[in-house]
Structure 1
Amino acid sequence: MAGLLPALVAVSQKAAEVARLCRAEEPLFRLLVAEKTGPDRNERFQHDFKTLADVLIQELIKHDLGTQFPELRGHIHGEESSEFKDAEDSTNEFIRGCEDVAAVDGVAPGGLRSALVLVGAFDRHTGVPVLGVINEPFFQRDPQTGRWQGRYHWGVAHGDTRLCSLSPPAPRPRPCVVLSRAEAPAVRGALGLLGGGPPLLAAGAGYKLLCVALGLADAFVLSRATTFAWDSCGPHAILRALGGGVVALEGALRARRDGGGAEPPELRYHRPRPGRAGAERWANPGGLVAFVHPQHLRAVLDALRDVPGL
């Protein structure tokens, strides 16, 4: 464990540099895009794309960690297949990407700020996340050169050990929630009544999880099964290190409605979903709620317990 955390930080730094280099030349970047098809495609999107940067980063992480820790070979999973075929005129919002999107209450609604490198490790027997690194390759521009600069955050949550590069954010009296722009109106409306202000909107599941860890929001709620293990494992470990976690929304609401006092079920990462193929094997079923302070989780669940369809 002591050697694995520095290794995860190091590969995240390499990966961040690859992301910046691939993004540096816009005409070149547009050539480094391919559309995902078949079971690797996220069903949420009509068109789902990967870039050569995605593939290079994933293979770099597999190579470096597999070389340093041979026992991990065969146990390093990621989003992209290593096959890459160039495709013309296949761009979407992310690829056209706005580079300087103004933040709203500290949260970037979209653009490169929300493009992160996420690396996590989980216990193979229990599925509990134990190590996590979030690297922000496009955190800010150098005022002199205009080049992007990054930063990273890490967390350890193993047994009784809780260590993190971040300090737990102070709890607000009433939780502020960050959501996807595609979140259901009924969910938006219910969470808007919490009293912590209107929900903040942002792109990228990893980025919204980061917003919770940083205290920019008190909870991230997603009502649909559109995230995957590689989106949440690393941030989940950091949130656990801060005293929080990530629970399955569907199961947490069921436990809340039953009133039996059962602990909401946290996400686990060691078992692929049976009967699914490709990326869907590693989808997080039933939505999720990410939090640092348990009272905010309870407030969110109480707000959503009577929403139809949940």
Structure 2
Amino acid sequence: MADLLKLLLRVAEKAANVARVCRQEAPLFQLLVQEKTGVDKNKKFVQDFKTLANMFPKMIDHIQGEESNKFENGLEKETAALLVTVLDGDQMAATLMACAIHQDATLTLSDTSTDNLHIPLSPSDLSIWIDPIDATSQYIEGREEVVEEGCLCPSGLQCALVLIGVYLRATGEPVIGVINQPFNHKDPTGWKGKHFWGVSCGSVKACSVLRPKERPAECPGLSVVLSSSEKQAVKEALAPLCGPDRLMYASGAGYKILCVILGLADIYVLSEGSTFKWDSCGPHALLLALGGGMLDLKECLRFSHCEGGHHDQGELTYHQSHSESPGAERWANQGGLVAYLDCQMLHRVIGELKGKF
């Protein structure tokens, strides 16, 4: 299983390489962008897109993701074994893409070594969710935001992430998560990425990120990150809990969860069912590895079971679909979500939200 984690990290880095190459080469980028339509269109956005960045090998019906492997650019529907065929005969684009895909994904696992991890699982126990580019709209717009150290990025390329989550087929519990941020920072040679990983399996808890330090007593206000489109009632309910400028907004579900993981925000709240299993599975595993979790907000508000230590009731799972829903909605987190590291902070947030919407 340690080898599986290393493989997932390399796969995520290859996806990040593809993402960076696509942004650097304008003709390739335009060729690879296709608007989603019909049931695959995310209802949250006027325009939502998919990309051809999901170059992952299939794993016998147990690798799933946001993007389908069907991609059309006015091509006849025929088997496309070669990239040059998939890319409508564009040899330059195919060459650039192939170079990125086959480039050696060199990673430095300096935070916490994976070599000594002993995870009591078998591949036959597991399934995988992949999101090749989360916050696709931010990726396509391509804004390069300047962010102060220790602050979250409200929008732009930094919000675009590669997300891979591994979960137990039997229970849906997330056990391994990989997050790759292809556009973490920029130097004179171009954009550089950063990766994060976590394992939560029984007593095995390991993460490349250290749990954020507790806030000093003189800073009592919570910091909450929301979507800018969040309900006004939610914003008004949480504002009294937050100090000045601590009710924050950012793009991308995966990025907002990463903000909680890194301690840039205490809590992420989403009242709508506009995220999906591929958005949350990987980051959820990191939260669990750090002692936090991710809950169905609707269930939390119904039962108010957040006092005390860690709890399982309401924890998001990843193995069951909403069979009555169409298309991608089958895999939506329909009750909304709340991501946290500190259960006491979670309890305060749920207390403020209960009965407000």
**Matched residue, 2:160:** 115
Greater CA drift, 215-224 or 26-35: 26-35
User: Which residue in 1 is equivalent to 2:299?
Assistant: 251
Give the distance between the partners of 1:104 and 1:180, measured in 2 at CA. 21
Q: Which amino acid aligns with 1:2?
A: A
Match of 2:60 among 49, 54, 73: 73
Amino acid aligned to 2:304: R
Question: C-alpha distance in 2, partners of 1:44/1:167?
Answer: 33
Contact 2:297–2:337, Cα closer than 8 Å, also in 1: yes
Distance, in Å, in 2 between the alignment partners of 1:11 and 1:263 is: 31
Cα–Cα, structure 1 residues 86 and 100, in superposed 2: closer, same or farther, change >3 Å?
farther
Q: Following TM superposition, by how much is the alpha carbon of 1:112 offset from its aligned partner in structure 2, in angstroms?
A: 0.2
**1:177 alignment counterpart:** 224
Q: How far is the alpha carbon of 1:82 from its aligned partner?
A: 1.6
Please provide the CA RMSD for this pair.
Answer: 2.3
Which residue does the alignment assign to 2:191?
148
**Secondary structure of 1:186 counterpart:** helix
Residue deviations 1:164-211 (CA, integer Å, cap 9, x gap)? 001111233432100101111111111111134431110000000000
8 Å Cα contact 2:170-2:319 kept in structure 1: yes
Partners of 1:14 and 1:175 lie apart in 2 by 37
Pick closer, same or farther for the CA change 1:104–1:45 going to 2, 3 Å.
farther
Cα contact 1:257–1:305 (8 A) shared by 2 = no
Deviations, residues 40-73 of structure 1 (Å, cap 9, x unaligned): 11111222211233xxxx2x22x1xx5xxxxx42
User: Kindly tell me: are residues 219 and 33 of structure 1, through their superposed partners in 2, closer, same or farther at Cα, counting changes over 3 Å?
Assistant: same
Aligned-partner SS, 2:287: helix
> Judging changes above 3 Å, is the alpha-carbon distance between structure 1 residues 278 and 298 closer, same or farther for their aligned structure 2 residues?
same
Give the length in aligned residue pairs: 290
Does the CA contact (< 8 Å) of 2:306 and 2:346 recur in 1? no
Work out whether residues 300 and 306 of structure 2, in 8 Å CA contact, stay in contact via their aligned partners in 1: no
Q: TM-score, normalised by structure 1?
A: 0.87
In structure 2, the residue matched to 1:69 is: none
Give the match for residue 200 of structure 2. 157
SS of match in other structure, 2:63: coil
Partner of 2:260: 212
For 1:162 and 1:277, the matched residues in 2 are separated by 36
User: Structure 1, residues 127-180: CA drift from partner, whole Å, max 9, x if none?
Assistant: 0000000001000012x32x0000100000001110000111123343210010
Matched residue, 1:188: 235
Matched AA of 1:110? S
Please list, as runs of the form range in 1=range in 2, the aligned pairs for 1:1-310 lying within 5 A after superposition.
Answer: 1-53=1-53, 58=54, 60-61=55-56, 63=57, 66=58, 72-86=59-73, 94-102=139-147, 106-142=151-187, 144-145=188-189, 147-172=190-215, 173-197=220-244, 198-256=246-304, 264-308=313-357
- In 1, the alpha carbon distance for the partners of 2:142 and 2:254 equals 17
Separation in 2, partners of 1:161, 1:42:
36
- Cα shift at 1:232: 0.2
- The one-letter amino acid paired with 1:122 is Y
Distance 1:200 1:135 in 2: 22
Q: TM-score, normalised by structure 2?
A: 0.76
Asked if 1 retains the 8 angstrom alpha-carbon contact of 2:35 and 2:49, the reply is yes
Distance 2:208 2:168 in 1: 21
Q: Which runs of 5+ in 2 are unaligned?
A: 75-135
* Fraction of identical pairs, as percent: 51
2:124 equivalent in structure 1: none
Q: CA deviation at 1:109?
A: 0.7
2:138·2:155 contact (CA, 8 Å) conserved in 1? no
SS in 2 for 1:193: helix
Counterpart CA distance in 1 for 2:163 and 2:306 is 35
Q: 2:230·2:271 contact (CA, 8 Å) conserved in 1?
A: yes
Structure with the greater alpha carbon radius of gyration: 2
Amino acid at match of 2:238: L
CA gap 1:121/1:257 in 2 versus in 1, 3 angstroms: closer
